Chain A
Amino acid sequence: MAAGQIELFLQTLIAGFLLGGLYALIGLGMALILGVMKIINLAHGDLMMVAMYVAYVLFQFFHIDPYLAVFIVAPVLFILGAGLQKFLITPVLKVESILPHNQVILTVGIGIVLSNLATLIFKSDYLSIPVSYATKAWYLSDFWKGSPIELSLSFAWSVSFLIAIAITGVLWFFLTRTDTGKSIRATAQDLDAALLMGVNVNHMRMLTFGLGSALVGIAGCLFIPIYYLYPSLGKQFTNIAFVITILGGLGSIEGAIIGGIILGIFESMTATYLGMGWAPVGRFAIFVAVLIFLPGGVASLMRRRSFTVSIK
Chain B
Amino acid sequence: MQLCIVLINTIIEEASMKRLSVIMIGALVLILFSIPAYAAEPIQLSISLPLTGGEAKFGDIQKRSYEIAAQEINAKGGIKGRKLVLSFEDSEGKPEIARSIVEKMIDVKKQPVIVGEYTSSCAKAVAAVAEERKVPYLVVASASDEITQKNYKYVFRLNPTNAHYADGLISFLKQVVKPSTMAILYESSDFGTSGAEDMAKQAAKMGIKVLLKEKYAKGAVDFKPILSKVKSERPDVIYMVSYVLDAALLMRQLKELRVDAKLFAGGAAGFAIPEFIENAKDASEYVVTATLWSPKLNYPGSKQYADKYKAKYGSYPSYHGAAAYSALYVIKNALERAKSMKSDDIRNALKTTSMTTAFGPVKFEDKEGYQNQNFIDTLVLQVIKGEFETIWPLSIATHKYIYPIPTWRERG
Interface residues of A (CB under 8 A from B): 4-5, 7-8, 11-12, 14-16, 18-19, 22, 115-116, 119, 123-126, 128, 130, 134-135, 137, 139, 150, 152, 154, 226-228, 230-233, 236, 267-269, 271-272, 275-277, 279-280
Contacts and interface: CB of A to CB of B under 8 A. Distances in A.
Contact of A15 (B59, B225, B252, B282): B225
A232 B54 contact: yes
Contacts of A116: 52
Contact of B56 (A5, A15, A231, A267): A231
Contact of B224 (A125, A233, A268, A279): A268
B256 A154 contact: yes
Contacts of A269: 225
A275 B229 CA distance: 10
Contacts of A16: 225
B244 A126 contact: yes
B181 interface: no
Contact of B256 (A152, A267, A275): A152
A268 B222 contact: yes
B107 to A, nearest CB: 28
Contact of B217 (A115, A123, A126, A279): A279
B248 A128 contact: yes
Given A134-B281, A277-B215, A12 B221 contact: no
B279 interface: yes
Contacts, number: 121
Contacts of A154: 224, 256
Give 8 nearest A-B pairs by CB, closest first: A124-B56, A271-B225, A15-B224, A272-B225, A11-B228, A277-B215, A276-B216, A228-B245
B53 A232 contact: yes
Nearest to A19: B222
Interface residues of B, number: 40
Contact of A231 (B52, B216, B223): B52
Contacts of B214: 275-277
A130 B284 CA distance: 13
B252 A134 contact: yes
B370 to A, nearest CB: 28
With a 10 A CB-CB cut-off, give which of A7, A15, A135, A233 has the most chain B CB atoms. A135
A128 B273 CA distance: 14
With a 10 A CB-CB cut-off, give which of A5, A11, A130, A269 has the most chain B CB atoms. A11
B57 A126 contact: yes
Contacts of B337: none
Contact of A130 (B52, B54, B256, B279): B279
A69 B217 CA distance: 30
A150 B249 contact: no
Nearest to B251: A135
Contacts of B244: 126
A22 B231 CA distance: 24
Given A124-B59, A276-B216, A19 B245 contact: no
A150 B228 contact: no
B221 A19 contact: yes
Contact of B60 (A4, A124, A128, A232): A124
Given A8-B229, A268-B224, A271-B225, A277 B60 contact: no
Nearest to B281: A130
Interface in B204-236: 214-217, 219-226, 228-229, 231-232
A280 B188 CA distance: 12
Contact of A227 (B57, B249, B283): B249
Nearest to B315: A125
A272 B226 contact: yes
Contact of B228 (A12, A115, A267, A279): A12
A159 to B, nearest CB: 14
Contacts of B52: 115-116, 119, 124, 231-232
Given A7-B232, A126-B275, A139-B258, A276 B226 contact: yes
Given A4-B232, A276-B215, A271 B226 contact: yes
Interface in B232-260: 232, 244-245, 248-249, 252, 255-258
A123 B61 CA distance: 11
B331 interface: no
B278 A137 contact: no
Given A126-B244, A276-B214, A228 B257 contact: no
B322 interface: no
Contacts of A22: 221
B39 to A, nearest CB: 38
B51 interface: yes
B282 A230 contact: no
B238 to A, nearest CB: 14
Contacts of A231: 52, 56
Nearest to A134: B252
B117 to A, nearest CB: 16
B221 A272 contact: no
Given A232-B53, A276-B214, A126 B225 contact: no
A53 B225 CA distance: 29
A103 to B, nearest CB: 25
B182 to A, nearest CB: 17
Contact of B252 (A115, A135, A276): A135
B19 to A, nearest CB: 59
A20 to B, nearest CB: 10
